[in-house]
Amino acid sequence: MTNLSHRLERDDLGRLVLIDHVGTRHVGVYPVRAFPITAIEAGIGLMDSSGKELCWFPSVTLIPRDELQLIEAELATREFMPVIEKIVKVSTFATPSIWDIETNRGPTRIRLKGEEDIRRISGNTLLISDANGLQFLIKDSTALDKGSKKLLDRFR
Amino acid sequence: MKPEISPQTPILPSDWQRILGGLQFPAADLGQVLAWVELDLDQNLRFEKSLLLLMEKGLVWTNGKEVMSWPILADNTLVHGDHAGVGHLKLETPHRLENIWYFTLAVNPHVLRLQASFKKMNAAHHVNEEHVINEYDKQICPICLSPKPANTDACPTCDPEDDAPPSTWTLFKLWRFAKPYQNKLLLGFVLTLLSTGATLVPPYLTMPLMDHILIPYEKGQPIDFHLASLYLLALFGAALLAWGLGWWKTYLLALVSERIGADLRNTTFEHLLKLSLEYFGGKRTGDLIARIGAETDRICVFLSLYALDFATDVLMITMTAAILVSIDPLLALVTLAPLPFIVWMIHVVRDKLRFGFEKIDRIWSEVTNILADTIPGIRVVKAFAQEDRELKRFVDSNKHNLQINDRVNRVWGLFSPTVTLLTETGLLVVWGFGIWQVAHRRISVGVLIAFLAYIGRFYIRLDSMSRIVSHTQKAAAGAKRIFDILDHVSSVPEPINPAPLAKVEGRISLKEVGFRYGNRAVTKGINLEIAPGEMVGLVGHSGSGKSTLVNLICRFYDVSAGSIALDGRDIRSIGIADYRKRIGLVLQEPFLFFGTIAENIAYGKPDATREEIIQAARAAHAHEFILRLPLGYDSLVGERGQSLSGGERQRISIARALLINPAILILDEATSSVDTTTEKEIQKALDNLVKGRTTIAIAHRLSTLRKADRLVVLDKGEIVEIGTHDALMDAQGAYYQLYQAQIRQAAELVEGGAIGDTVQENEDVQQEESLQMMAKNLGGGV
pLDDT score, position B754: 47
A90 and A74 both lie in a single domain: no
A90 and A73 both lie in a single domain: no
Residues near B533 by beta carbon (within 8 Å), at least 6 away in sequence: B506, B692, B693, B694
Give the distance from residue A20's alpha carbon to the nearest chain B alpha carbon, in angstroms: 23
Give the distance from residue A64's alpha carbon to the nearest chain B alpha carbon, in angstroms: 24
Q: Are B249 and B188 in contact (CB under 8 A)?
A: yes
pLDDT score, position A154: 80
Q: Measuring CA to CA, which residue among A82, A156, A131, A89 is closest to residue B359?
A: A156
Q: Does any CB of chain A come closer than 8 Å to the CB of residue B88? A: yes
Q: Which of B120-129, B221-230, B505-514 has the lowest mean pLDDT?
A: B120-129
> pLDDT at residue B93 above 90?
no
Using a CB-CB cut-off of 8 Å, the residues of chain B touching A133 are 85, 105
pLDDT band at B240 (very low <50, low <70, confident <90, very high): very high
Element (H, E) at B272: helix B225-274
Q: Does any CB of chain B come closer than 8 Å to the CB of residue A122? A: no
Helix (H, G, I), strand (E, B) or coil at B414: helix
DSSP A83: B
Using a CB-CB cut-off of 8 Å, the residues of chain B touching A79 are 84
**End-to-end CA gap in chain B:** 59
pLDDT score, position B2: 39
Compute the mean pLDDT over every residue in chain B, rounded to the nearest whole number.
Answer: 78
pLDDT score, position A98: 87
Instruction: State whether A80 and B40 contact (CB < 8 Å).
Output: no
Q: Are B714 and B538 in contact (CB under 8 A)?
A: yes
Question: From A15, which residue of chain B is nearest by alpha-carbon distance?
Answer: B97
> pLDDT at residue B438 above 70?
yes
Question: Which has more pLDDT, B624 or B31?
Answer: B624
**Mean pLDDT to the nearest integer, B693-714:** 84
DSSP A141: G
Using a CB-CB cut-off of 8 Å, the residues of chain B touching A108 are 40, 47
The minimal CB distance from B46 to the residues A91, A94, A106 is found for: A106
**Mean pLDDT to the nearest integer, B715-741:** 85
**B161-328+471-490 CATH pick, 1.20.1560.10, 3.90.1200.10, 2.60.40.1580, 3.40.50.720:** 1.20.1560.10
A74 and A109 both lie in a single domain: no
A25 and A65 both lie in a single domain: yes
* Domain termination residue (choose one: A18, A49, A78): A78
The minimal CB distance from B47 to the residues A94, A108, A132 is found for: A108
The minimal CB distance from A80 to the residues B45, B92, B100 is found for: B45
Q: Are B667 and B658 in contact (CB under 8 A)?
A: no
Residues near B778 by beta carbon (within 8 Å), at least 6 away in sequence: B743, B746, B747, B750
Using a CB-CB cut-off of 8 Å, the residues of chain A touching B88 are 77
* Domain termination residue (choose one: A47, A78, A109): A78
The minimal CB distance from A92 to the residues B97, B165, B355 is found for: B165
Q: Measuring CA to CA, which residue among B698, B595, B586 is closest to residue B641?
A: B595
Q: B14-139 sits in which CATH class?
A: mainly beta
Q: Are B774 and B781 in contact (CB under 8 A)?
A: no
Question: Which has more pLDDT, B700 or B11?
Answer: B700
Q: How many domains does chain A have?
A: 2
> pLDDT at residue B105 above 50?
yes
User: Rounded to the nearest 5°, which phi and psi values hold at B41?
Assistant: -130, 150
Instruction: State whether A108 and B40 contact (CB < 8 Å).
Output: yes
Q: Are B587 and B698 in contact (CB under 8 A)?
A: no
A47 lies in some domain: yes
Distance CA B346, CA B53 (A): 57
pLDDT band at B630 (very low <50, low <70, confident <90, very high): confident
A22 lies in some domain: yes
A73 and A88 both lie in a single domain: no
List the helix and strand counts (H, then E) for chain A: 2, 11
A134 lies in some domain: yes
A111 and A71 both lie in a single domain: no
Q: Does any CB of chain B come closer than 8 Å to the CB of residue A14? A: yes
Question: From B88, which residue of chain A is nearest by alpha-carbon distance?
Answer: A77
Distance CA B152, CA B155 (A): 8
The minimal CB distance from A13 to the residues B83, B92, B162 is found for: B92
Instruction: State whether A132 and B104 contact (CB < 8 Å).
Output: yes
Question: Which has more pLDDT, B683 or B473?
Answer: B683
Q: Are A100 and A84 in contact (CB under 8 A)?
A: no
A22 and A52 both lie in a single domain: yes
- For chain B, state the CA radius of gyration: 37
Instruction: State whether B163 and A154 contact (CB < 8 Å).
Output: no
> pLDDT at residue B759 above 50?
no
**Mean pLDDT to the nearest integer, B54-70:** 81
User: What percent of chain B lies above the pLDDT cut of 90?
Assistant: 3
Q: Which of A11-25, B254-268, B634-648, B751-765 has the lowest mean pLDDT?
A: B751-765
* Per-residue burial over B285-304, b = 16 or more CB atoms within 10 Å of its CB, e = otherwise: eeebeebbeebbebbbbbbb
Instruction: State whether B162 and A96 contact (CB < 8 Å).
Output: yes
Distance CA B763, CA B673 (A): 9
> pLDDT at residue B62 above 50?
yes
Element (H, E) at B583: strand B583-586
pLDDT score, position B470: 66
Using a CB-CB cut-off of 8 Å, the residues of chain A touching B85 are 80, 132-135
> pLDDT at residue B320 above 60?
yes
- For chain A, helix, strand, coil in percent to 5 are 20, 40, 40
A1 lies in some domain: no
Instruction: Please report, in tens digits, the pLDDT of each residue of chain A (156 residues total).
Output: 455 678 888 888 788 888 888 888 888 888 888 888 878 888 888 888 777 888 888 888 888 888 888 888 888 888 888 899 999 988 877 667 888 999 988 888 888 877 778 887 777 888 888 877 788 888 888 888 888 888 888 887
ipTM for the complex shown: 0.86
pLDDT score, position B247: 92
pLDDT digits (tens, 9 = 90+) for B613-627: 998 888 888 888 888
Domain coverage including residue A40: 7-78
The torsion defined by the Cα of B58, B61, B67 and B68, in degrees rounded to 10, comes to: -50
pLDDT score, position B241: 92
For testing contact with chain A, the best of B42, B43, B44, B46 (most A CBs within 10 A): B46
A27 and A59 both lie in a single domain: yes
> pLDDT at residue B519 above 60?
no
Q: Are B157 and B147 in contact (CB under 8 A)?
A: no
Residue B43 C-alpha from the chain's centroid? 38
Distance CA A75, CA B46 (A): 15
Q: Across-strand partners of B595?
A: B637
pLDDT digits (tens, 9 = 90+) for B348-371: 776 777 677 777 777 777 788 788
Q: Are B657 and B584 in contact (CB under 8 A)?
A: yes
The minimal CB distance from A12 to the residues B48, B96, B163 is found for: B96
In this structure, the strands spanning B47-55 and B58-62 are: antiparallel
**Exposed / middle / buried, residue A66 (Cβ in 10 Å: 0-12, 13-18, 19+):** exposed
* Domain termination residue (choose one: A78, A95, A110): A78
pLDDT band at B701 (very low <50, low <70, confident <90, very high): confident
pLDDT digits (tens, 9 = 90+) for B388-426: 988 998 998 888 888 888 888 887 777 778 777 877 887
Question: ω before B500 within 30° of 0 (cis)?
Answer: no
A88 and A73 both lie in a single domain: no
Distance CA B341, CA B769 (A): 75
pLDDT score, position B756: 44
A2 lies in some domain: no
